[in-house]
Structure 1
Amino acid sequence: MAVYKAFLILAMAAVVSAIYSNWYDAHATFYGDMGGGKTMQGACGYGYLFKQGYGLETAALSTALFNDGLSCGACFEIFCTNVPQWCIPKAGSIIITATNFCPPNDTPNKPDAWCNPPRKHFDLTMKMFTKIAYYKAGIVPVRYRHVTCSKKGGVKFEINGNPYFTLVLIYNVGGAGDANAVKIKGSKTQWIIMTHNWGQNW
């Protein structure tokens, strides 16, 4: 009975966000190897080894882009720019989903602290980085924009917690991709605003 009631509540969640079309400047690096390396649960809550199906078409975002986790699930189009010796000619652009956080480096005056505020930075998987730039580049300037996500199977929910606390992970969101506000409604309640906890956990 409890599982049935939870399904009724979560199936009615309202997901709200916005899409932007302007291009902005940033930088990109990569992590791991072509298979993703030691990919573990990140700051968005999407689980170990791409449990939620986001695969390798993903990136960790710097503080300036992460938005305290509210950008998790958002999709970005990215292309390498202005460095002919590092950008692959006619490579075009890639589209990635934000699935993790690239933390700032607290070491004073560290020159390669690319994820420190106010820098906008994408730490891509090696597979995605090498679609737009040569491996030996290490880091490249890019341009990016927030785009519509194309996902199959509809919005999905994962319920965690304990008898006193319920945590709901929202993922596989098409369109906006990221959930910035969520409401639930039970069979005997009005709409209730959910509180953002961390990543895409509410």
Structure 2
Amino acid sequence: MAVHEVFLVLAMAMVVSAIDTNWYDAHATFYGDMSGGETMQGACGYGDLFKQGYGLQTAALSTALFNDGLTCGACFEIYCTNTPQWCIPKAGSITITATNFCPPNYTPNKPDAWCNPPRKHFDLSMPMFTKIAYYKAGIVPIRYRRVLCYKRGGVKFEIKGNPYFTLVTIYNVGGAGDVNAVKIKGSKTQWIDMTRNWGQNWQTGTVLTGQNLSFQITLSDGKTLEFDNAAPDGWQFGQTYDGIKNF
């Protein structure tokens, strides 16, 4: 097998591993109320989910799915199954984006520690839960699968930090949705590998002030997209810049 063929096979394997059309069993609960106010912030670092375009179509994932934050931004299709008394008839499925972490509860003899490893669990906003199941159910068995994310507008880069430490939150990503690697380049530098701070916050200690900034992001399916001059040389900390392109 030729070298380029090996690379092709590996790339195809990465795609399969990131976007899996198979259905898997899990459970779902909900948190908050119908207003969805509790969906703000979270372990992915996205902040105001309404302002950032995620809205209520979100979920917190258990340890088995969260992947230490690397699954942030991934999209899942979910439907309620095998409980006619709790599943809403002909409700169909919902699609959500992973935006938070459902922490485990290791309290002894805790029967409802649904987010403990190795359980696969989705903690949905109440409005999303009640699209597929009755409120009184509390918890229901579901089936889920990974799907492509479809987002309006471009990929967003929110820049925070100080002149000696640049932290970039990346959100509104289409395609596989979950960013697994990031590079940044100033107009006076080469490409620099960023390291993940937490969730989808990526950092570098290279001084980049006064330079326009370009980004390369690589998703879990191996696709890489480049955003040249996404932030102008007069960019400011605390501002968000639009990468325009999306998958």
Q: TM-score, normalised by structure 2?
A: 0.72
Deviations 1:89-134, CA, capped at 9 Å, x for gaps:
1111000011111111120231000001110000001110011101
Counterpart-to-counterpart distance in 1, 2:67 and 2:39: 22
Unaligned runs of 5+ in 1: 1-15
Counterpart-to-counterpart distance in 2, 1:124 and 1:89: 19
Unaligned runs of 5+ in 2: 1-13, 203-247
Amino acid at match of 1:94: I
Amino acid at match of 1:69: G
Counterpart-to-counterpart distance in 1, 2:137 and 2:166: 44
Amino acid at match of 2:136: K
Identity of aligned residues (%): 87
Report 1:1-202 matches (<5 A): 18-48=18-48, 50-202=50-202
Amino acid at match of 1:70: L
Amino acid at match of 2:32: G
Deviations 1:144-164, CA, capped at 9 Å, x for gaps:
001000101111110111232
SS at structure 1 position matched to 2:142: strand
Deviations 1:40-71, CA, capped at 9 Å, x for gaps:
31101111353312100110001111111111
Q: What's the CA shift for 1:201?
A: 0.4
SS at structure 2 position matched to 1:127: helix
Q: What's the CA shift for 1:79?
A: 0.4
4+ residue runs of structure 1 moved beyond 6 angstroms?
A: none
Counterpart-to-counterpart distance in 2, 1:187 and 1:162: 18
Q: TM-score, normalised by structure 1?
A: 0.88
Amino acid at match of 2:139: I
Q: Which moved more, 1:30-39 or 1:62-71?
A: 30-39
Partner residue, 1:9: none
SS at structure 1 position matched to 2:128: helix
Residues paired across the two proteins, number? 187
Q: What's the CA shift for 1:190?
A: 2.8
Cα-Cα RMSD: 1.5
SS at structure 2 position matched to 1:196: strand
CA contact (8 A) 2:39 2:56 kept: no
Amino acid at match of 1:80: C
Counterpart-to-counterpart distance in 2, 1:186 and 1:20: 36
Amino acid at match of 1:174: G
SS at structure 1 position matched to 2:131: helix
Q: What's the CA shift for 1:22?
A: 1.4
Q: Bigger relative contact order, structure 1 or 2, given CA contacts below 8 A and separation 6+?
A: 1
